Structure 1
Amino acid sequence: MKSFAWLLLLILVLGTGLQIFLPWWVITPLCLVLAFTWPVRGGRAFLAGFLGIGLGWLVLASWLNVRNEGLLAHRVAQLLPLGGHGWLLVLLTALVGGLVGGLAALAGAWGRVAVSPAKAEATA
């Protein structure tokens, strides 16, 4: 449980911090490398990546939505089949980011098992 919490915290902090200076897709190699080096199983790695990136994107998208009084999110939500609900777009944004982070972390955990299966079983 301790490894999961540290991995989640690292993904949340580093993912949010790196996205300020780098493109959004930096979360993919970040989650992949952290899950590859951190001794957690696949399901917990996915959950850590999903929650870490999803929460980071949820907070950032909510902050931006509040800062511009929901105007941009409302307009974009009108283009998509969301009925103009800006907060639904914020939740969808967090879901997409969480899935990208979770799948990258899962790939990293599975990559660690593929490289050294005996070592991965000992740490699990």
Structure 2
Amino acid sequence: MIFVNLPVADLAAPMAFYEALGFDNNPQFTDDTAACMVWSEAINVMLLTHDKWRTFTTRPIPTSTASEVLLALSLDNREAVDAMNAAAAAHGGTGDINPKQDLGFMYSRALTDPDGHVWEAVWMDPSAMPEG
């Protein structure tokens, strides 16, 4: 399992954002300082208020315009990639922070959550990859 921990300014807004993208909340690991948002049996995103985040590290929290990581989620098809990008833009995030990438066998769109964390929705068909 992986738990991606992200600092957030306001817990309610990113919770609603991630729910709109298809994540489920796990109330067992959610309180007024943190929320566990579940993508799959293996992938969880922990949203941590800034105060909670600071209990884990003294390193500075990046600004919402900085990119500390780009997290990619594999989706079932191009339509799902487009839908995630649209949901991001409609729920407090930003869609298409970079030009969409269409290589035929791979299609992706980058977006941010309300706190500026960068995600990439991606679909790929390895059987259609060009040789070499």
Scaled by the length of structure 2, what TM-score is found?
Answer: 0.29
Structure with the larger helix share: 1
Report which structure shows greater RCO (CA 8 Å, sep ≥6).
1
